[in-house]
Each structure stands twice: as structure tokens, then as C-alpha cells.
Amino acid sequence: MLILSVCHGGHDSSAVVANDYEILAAVQTERITRKKGDGKYAHLPTINAALRAAGANASDVETFAMSHGRAPSRYFCWDFWQKMRYGVARIIGKERQKLILQNRDIFNQEKLLHDIGLPKNSEFCFYNHHFSHALSALFFTDWNNALLYTADGGGDTTNYSAYHFDGATIHELYGDLKNANAKFPADSIGFAYGAMTRALGYQRNRHEGKLTGLAAFGEPTIYDELAQHFSVDETGRVRTKFKKQYEEMVPLITKIAQTTARENAAASIQKLLEEIILKSVSIYLERTGVRHIGLAGGVFANVSLNRKIGELPQVDEVFVFPAMGDEGIAVGGLYQYLLERDGLAVWQNKRRRLKNVYWGGTFDDDIKKIFNRTTKRVDGETASVAAKLLADNKIVALYCGRMEFGPRALGGRSILAAATNKEINDTLNKRLQRTEFMPFAPVVLAEDAAEIFEINDKNKYAMRFMTITCRVREQWHKKIPAVVHVDGTARPQIIYDEDNPLYATILREYKKQTGLPVLINTSFNAHEEPIIHTPEECLRALQAGRVDYVVTQNGVYVA
């Protein structure tokens, strides 16, 4: 059965196409529109790109899944409910009203299916924001006893959720629809982090990672002032003194942020985030007695927080779904539909560990034609030539195979560079017009990873997708200074040959030529742009001098 699942809302919309449990394609709207974090509703070009990448047509779709509570009002037909509409709205609020009254009496699914171009007899279903986040983390593990924990700036009027999976049942601890509030409670630590991001002059829902890096340079001087407004109760639920997020939380955080240097403000909000989430997670771990934890939601884009969770003594393994932001709920929504259709026993047998997220489109044939016509191909074997260029301190882009899904570049659309000179960070930032406080991430072959980084059974799976930091072993600090943060940590990607043979071969050739098994891996994009998508965008970046060379499946090219 061909299933189309979409998420949409304020930011980071996406489309996923699957043949039952097998994901065929997943595409983020930002990659198509070139607007970073774009959250367009049921964006047709994105849907069509996902269908093309899956080798399917809209007429093939049998089931359409979407997040509820975010549909435009034109799809709600109120004829039958007109008299009770205002009473319900007064009692529980309009957003809660949409969540409850989402049945076929008030939602015009035929109009939506028509507008998207899907068959009118397609099965139609809604999925829940936080439950889908949680299922995205659970499905790609083999655990039989686990805590699933989600946190973000809010979705379906809830900011957190926690579930206990015991092998037979998924027990809701907090956060599903029955806990939905008439309005968003003002308890989101993710929203608070975003408010601090904006208070420091950056853009909320986009630049939070800058604060994560900046925090290591400061002291938490205003932590106490922030912390007095948040707490965690005995059940693990996050509480706050705020009644309203925009009217109370944002002005207060903005005012407090102005009393100290921005690196201290960043350190303070980072400490608050860690203290609150760690306490909440620890209580749920104690309540359930589990030792495995799956994480999803935008809060867990914070790689430093994820390391702290993995270091908890009661945790044996942590996994963060690679598309942890709202783009990932389309994946979780797919698996929520399948769970409801098939039941947990069948669903469990389909679970598997994730090897890669190369779910986007591939343009290998197109880029060969374009580059052969417009650029010069460097003679020699691709991996060996690329390794030699990297050893000579050239900046090399990797554009091969299918695009990654999620916020991290993982070798499909990456920029590679030597990690031996710390100044390369300034060079790359200048050429890419970026301002970053955290060093670029390293990529390392699986067989070399433990020699260089403090990798263990707790964090190894998460490091496949660059979602967690770890300590860099002391003897390697001076060998690869470009990827070591001031606090002695790094955010490595562990690469396996089976995931991306060309990527792994380049790294192996580089090690053969230099004796070093580590390279810089950063996303192939300029400042404020989404990751490069099409061959034309790749060519423009090469011609503009963003990189020195581009490596494809067909060879190494120079402008």
C-alpha cells in the first residue's frame, strides 16, 4: 500500500512516501522552496518531489496521513456544527475545538484530497504531534523496554510527552490528546530557549544551535533568575510560573538577557535546559525502571543536552531520531497510522535499526550532464583524487546519491575539509558567509572512532547521525583541532561502508595518505540557505567559490 504522510504548520514541513513500513522517500519543503525552515501547508511541489523520488505518482496513493490541528479553516465545514461551534470555542478554545471535532462531519477531506491531486477514495487519517515524534524514535530501535520522551516548542497544544514501551503496550505517561489543553501551557523550555535565541539577536526556530556553541564560552550568570520560573514535579512533568508564553515569558527572558554578556546568557539558558530536562527524564526513568531512551522533538537538536542524557548512570543507550524537528513527524505519523491499522504485535515485528536517512531525490545522471558541459573533470580515481585534494587543504563538496532527510548533512550533500588546522573554521565560515561558535563536526570511519572519541554502547548508535556530542580523547586534541570545541567535545558522524561507499572510501584514502582518519563534515550550503538540493544549485556554489571542488559519483570537478 502506498502511503503519503505530510506535516505542516509554522515551520519545517515535509512529505514522506512509503510502501507500508518501507520509507521510499522523504523531502523537506525548505529544500524545494529554498526558504530555510519553510512550513508551508501541504506544499504540492514538496509532495511531488517526494513522489518522484519514490518512483510513484499521486494516483498511486492509497492512504493520506496528516497532522491535525493545523489545517486551514477552509477545510473545516461547519454547517452541521454551526450552532454549537461558538459554545465549544468558548469552553475549550478554537485549537482544542479542531482537535476534538476532527471527524468527517466537520473536516472536508474530499476538498483537501482534490486540492493535493490524490484519488478521492484515498483513506484519510490524522496523527498526533507528540505521539508521532515518540514513534519515530521507537520504531528505529530494537528495544523491548524503553522510555520515549519528546519536547519542543509545542504541537497539538502540548509541549512534552513521555511514554513507556514495555514490549507489549505503549503506556502514555504524559502528553497525548487526552492531555491536550485549550491553549498551549506556558511551560515549554524549548520555547524559552527560542525566546533567548531571539533576545540575543538571532532567529527563533533557526539559530538555537548558535547558542549551544556559544554557551561553552560563557558562565551561567543569570541562571538563577531564569530557573526560579521553572520546576519539575514529582511525576516528571515540567511546570512553570508563567501563564502566557508570548505575553509573559518572552518579555521577561528578553529583559534578563540584557543584563549580561550574550555568552553568559547562552550558558544560562543551556544550563536551565539541561537541568530541567535531565530532572524530568530521570524521574520518568525511575518511575518506569527502563534503561533505554528514545528522544525526538526540536529540543533534542541540542547535541550537548543529548550527551548529558546519555551520560546518566541509569541509561544504557540513547537514540535521537535524526529528523528530530517537526519535519520528522511525517515519519512518525506514517508509523502511527500503521500502528493503528495493524496493531502493536504486527508493528513490532517490522521495527529495525536505522542505517541511513538518504531518503531524498538523486540527481547523479543530471549532474553528470551539467558538469561535463560546464566544468572540468579532474583525471584520476575519484576517491584517491578527492583525498589528495583534502590533504592539500582544499575544500571539497560531496554531492552524491540521495539527499539526507533532517537537519544534518551526512555525506549526501556535505562539505569536507582537513581538520588539522583550526583556522579552517574561519576560512569556511567566511566562504560560506556563516557565523558559528561551535567548530565543525568530524566524520570518522567506524573502525577508528573509539580510538579518537569517547564512544561506547550508550552513544554509538546516535553518532551514526551526528545527534550527540562526546569527549575527544586528550591525545587527539592537537591532531584535529578544527573539530574540538573549547570544552573538549565534538559531534562526530560515524560512517560505515554500507551506508555510503564513496564517502567511506574517500576517508579511507585520506587516512592512507595522511595517517589521519578524521575529516571535517559540514552541510553544503551558504549562510541562511537550506542544504543544496539540485545540480544547478551545486554548480552555482562551485562557480561562486564556496568550495574548490565538487565530488560526485562520476568524478571530481573544478570550475
How many Cα neighbours within 13 Å face the side chain of 509? Answer: 17
Is residue 520 predicted with pLDDT exceeding 50? yes
Q: Is 170 left (phi over 0), alpha (psi -120 to 50) or beta?
A: beta
Listed in sequence order, the residues at least 6 apart from 533 whose beta carbon sits closer than 8 Å to its beta carbon are: 31, 32, 34, 360, 361, 403, 413
Beta strands 14-19 and 518-523 are unpaired
* pLDDT confidence band for 479 (50 / 70 / 90): very high
Bridge partners, 489 (sequence order):
471
How many Cα neighbours within 13 Å face the side chain of 264? Answer: 13
Segment among 14-18, 26-30, 175-179 with least mean pLDDT:
175-179
Is residue 190 predicted with pLDDT exceeding 60? yes
Is residue 92 predicted with pLDDT exceeding 50? no
Q: What is the pLDDT of residue 298?
A: 97
DSSP secondary structure string for all residues of 63-103: EEEEESS-S-GGGB--TTTHHHHHHHHHHH-HHHHHHHS-S
H or E, element range at 133: helix 129-139
Fold designation for 136-321: Nucleotidyltransferase; domain 5 (3.30.420)
* pLDDT confidence band for 82 (50 / 70 / 90): low
Of residues 118 and 435, the one with the higher pLDDT is: 118
For the record, the C-alpha cell of 521 comes out as: 563534515
* Phi–psi pair at 300, nearest 5 degrees: -90, 15
Give the three-state DSSP class for 303: helix
Of residues 88 and 241, the one with the higher pLDDT is: 241
Q: What is the pLDDT of residue 101?
A: 47
Is residue 93 predicted with pLDDT exceeding 90? no
Of residues 70 and 369, the one with the higher pLDDT is: 369
Dihedral of CA 503/508/514/519: which sign? positive
Three-state secondary structure of 484-537: CCCCCEECCEEECCCCCHHHHHHHHHHHHHHCCCEEEEEECCCCCCCCCCCHHH
How many Cα neighbours within 13 Å face the side chain of 330? Answer: 34
Q: What is the pLDDT of residue 181?
A: 56
Chain mean pLDDT for the chain:
93
Mean pLDDT computed over 210-227: 97
* pLDDT confidence band for 96 (50 / 70 / 90): very low
Q: What is the pLDDT of residue 73?
A: 73
Is residue 97 predicted with pLDDT exceeding 50? no
Question: What single letter denotes the amino acid at residue 332?
Answer: G
DSSP secondary structure string for all residues of 423-439: THHHHHHHHTT---SSP
Q: What is the pLDDT of residue 74?
A: 79
Q: Where exactly does CATH 3.30.420.40 map onto the chain?
A: 2-71+107-127, 136-321
Q: Is 297 left (phi over 0), alpha (psi -120 to 50) or beta?
A: left
Mean pLDDT computed over 260-273: 99
* pLDDT confidence band for 156 (50 / 70 / 90): confident
* pLDDT confidence band for 108 (50 / 70 / 90): confident
> Distance between the two ends of the chain, CA-based, in angstroms?
45
Percent of the chain, pLDDT > 90? Answer: 86
Segment among 14-18, 181-185, 478-482 with least mean pLDDT:
181-185
Burial readout 40-63 (b: 16 or more C-beta within 10 A, e: otherwise): bbbbeebbbbbbebbebebebbeb
Mean pLDDT computed over 156-176: 93
Q: What is the pLDDT of residue 106?
A: 73
Listed in sequence order, the residues at least 6 apart from 320 whose beta carbon sits closer than 8 Å to its beta carbon are: 137, 294, 295, 296, 300, 306, 462, 465, 467, 468
Residue pair 471/489 in contact (Cβ under 8 Å)? The answer is yes
Q: What is the pLDDT of residue 83?
A: 47
Q: What is the pLDDT of residue 152?
A: 96
Listed in sequence order, the residues at least 6 apart from 508 whose beta carbon sits closer than 8 Å to its beta carbon are: 383, 445
Return the residue matching grid coordinates 548508535.
461
pLDDT in tens, 347-363: 999 999 999 999 999 99
Is residue 23 predicted with pLDDT exceeding 80? yes
According to DSSP, residue 394 is labeled -
Helices 364-374 and 535-543, axial angle in degrees (round to 10)? 40
Distance, CA of 131 to CA of 112 (rounded, Å) = 23
Q: Where exactly does CATH 3.90.870.20 map onto the chain?
A: 358-558
CATH code given to domain 2-71+107-127: 3.30.420.40
Beta strands 123-127 and 358-362 are unpaired
DSSP secondary structure string for all residues of 148-199: EEEEEEEETTEEEEEEEE-SS-EEEEE-SGGG--SS--S--HHHHHHHHHHH
CATH code given to domain 358-558: 3.90.870.20
Is residue 94 predicted with pLDDT exceeding 70? no
* pLDDT confidence band for 439 (50 / 70 / 90): confident
229 to 46, 151, 197, 221, 243: CA distances (angstroms):
41, 18, 18, 16, 11
Residue pair 65/125 in contact (Cβ under 8 Å)? The answer is yes
Report angle CA 168, 170, 175 to the nearest 5 degrees.
170
Percent of the chain, pLDDT > 70? Answer: 93
Q: Determine how many CB atoms are found less than 10 A away from the CB of residue 185.
A: 21
For the record, the C-alpha cell of 136 comes out as: 519515530
